[in-house]
Amino acid sequence: MPAPASASIVFIGFMGAGKSTAARGAARALGVEPIDTDDLIAAEVGPIGAFFDEHGEAAFREVEERVALAALGRGGVVALGGGAVGSERIRRALGEHATAWCRVGEEDAWERCRDGDRPLARDRAGFRRRFAERLPLYEECGRIVLPTGGEAIGAAAAPWLDALRSAPAMRMAWYRGESGGGPAIVGAGVTRILDSRPDLRPGARLFGLADRDALAATGGLMPAVEGEGPIELAGGEAAKTVGAAEAALRELARAGVRREDALVAFGGGVAGDLAGFCAAVYQRGVPVVQVPTTLVAQVDSAYGGKTGVDLPEGKNYVGAFHQPAAVLADPAALATLPEAELAAGFAEVVKTALIAGGPLWERVRAVAATDAVAVAPLVFDCARVKLDVVAADERDSGRRAVLNLGHTVGHAIEAATGYERYRHGEAVAIGLLAALRLSGADELAAEVGELLRRAGLPVRLDPPVDVDAVLAAVGRDKKRTAAGVGFVLLSEPGRVSFGNRVGDASLRRVVEELSA
């Protein structure tokens, strides 16, 4: 996938974000020389601080705009100054390039810049104001989002950034955690990126594990793999078993998969969990590229490295943490989904928006229809929310528990009904309402209930289920500790807490109300 000569890889971000060092790392990985516009400006006008003091910021911005626009046209790896995005001409130009926003917190940026010679880092209040003013501009321009700058992340992301130079409609967020990092890329035709094998092991071959129904509906999105095609998996939660994993692992062994090879997990959450688990345990671990084809997988389950299969006693009781080498989500797959499957995925969209609060919640609560056209623009932002949470707690020992909002009761409903009556998202929808009622957020529960109802999701257990069976399944929740089961509760969108203890009587009352 050759990049057009005019397309640059561009790093943007606030002061102290590590843009220049990220550009150096990416340039080194790609065998080119980096371009730093601050260096070019200094070569032309002398020390930037002195120029600021003598001529003022407006004069500097005129020079910066001219130098930056010229640099962008060279087709290389470019680091822009922190305030360059203030130019409307530069912002328009960035749309033609692979523009990567290196994120940094305001406090961290101040600590990195306060003792330097930056003319705009002399005043704390002004520094804070500029950070707030520029943040929406970085959001607007950065179709690629990196969790930070620095040489290491620039070098690691370089092959993917290079591939995205010729794909201006695709967006990428980079995951960074204890076990490494990788890209989540969303856009039409995204699986073609694998043709150039970016960032996989030298000589790696791709072997596929695919949900047979997804393959029939969206097979054109399946990347090219070794052999006569992917190993086909049965769909549905009832097929996510230890026996199914053993069968797939034996197929991989018979196909001669080696440790330097990689698997492609193609399908919804079930296929992703099962194939990811096989990748985690086959020869003690091989890379896996997740290619999610359902909404629930594109916004949630494909990210974060949780893999596993079910036991009759509980959902995902057998599993492993195994971060994907990449997640490639093509929204075109959503148009092939049955209406009920698309609605089930919308429950995870609502959950993510409730956790995030702010602009994402406002967008989701305003969704008038849950067709593929309406929900596709939400995929990338939901993925970003999950990646941020996972990066802070990869092994699920703390903050990551917030992603379980609605799932404690939801998983119990699935187990109590034999994984046959409700899709995962449908059970989560009811679980969300249970969590909001347990939180005492009755007004929000009513609004969410109406949002779910409009999407065609169930808002009560109908026909009723055995309440004791649901409560027993809650008691077996895999996140329980010696202190009991911790619930995720939410007082308002964006204000979520985890590890909360809920009384047996309160839980029973809420489940009985939802089953009435």
Per-residue model confidence as pLDDT tens digits over 396-455: 888 899 999 999 999 999 999 998 899 999 999 999 999 999 999 999 999 999 999 999
Q: Are residues 313 and 234 in the same domain?
A: yes
Domain-embedded: residue 76: yes
pLDDT reported for residue 396: 84
pTM of the model: 0.93
Q: Are residues 388 and 510 in the same domain?
A: yes
Q: What letter would DSSP give residue 142?
A: -
49 or 79, higher pLDDT: 79
| Mean pLDDT over each residue of the chain, to the nearest integer | 94
Domain-embedded: residue 129: yes
For residue 448, the surrounding DSSP H or E stretch is helix 442-454
Query: Is residue 5 predicted with pLDDT exceeding 70?
Result: no
- Strand blocks (E) in 213-369: 231-233, 262-267, 288-292, 306-311, 314-321, 326-329
CA 437 to chain centre: 28
Q: Are residues 220 and 271 in the same domain?
A: yes
Identify the three-state secondary structure at position 308: strand
Per-residue model confidence as pLDDT tens digits over 112-166: 999 888 999 999 999 999 999 999 999 999 999 999 999 999 999 999 999 999 8
Q: Are residues 100 and 209 in the same domain?
A: no
- Residue 314's pLDDT band, with cuts at 50, 70 and 90, is confident
Query: Is residue 108 predicted with pLDDT exceeding 70?
Result: yes
Inter-residue contact 21 to 149 (CB < 8 Å): yes
Q: Are residues 329 and 242 in the same domain?
A: yes
Radius of gyration of the chain (CA): 24
pLDDT reported for residue 493: 98
Of 168, 202, 228, which residue constitutes the final position of a domain? 168
Domain-embedded: residue 372: yes
- Which position has the token pair 């359902």? 294
Q: Are residues 391 and 282 in the same domain?
A: no
Domain-embedded: residue 308: yes
User: What are the φ/ψ torsions at residue 119 (nearest 5 degrees)?
Assistant: -65, -25
Domain limits for position 197? 176-337
Of 279, 302, 337, which residue constitutes the final position of a domain? 337
CA 82 to chain centre: 25
Per-residue model confidence as pLDDT tens digits over 199-210: 777 778 999 999
pLDDT reported for residue 4: 42
- Residue 315's pLDDT band, with cuts at 50, 70 and 90, is confident
Q: Are residues 244 and 144 in the same domain?
A: no
pLDDT reported for residue 176: 85
Per-residue model confidence as pLDDT tens digits over 339-372: 999 999 999 999 999 999 999 999 999 998 889 9
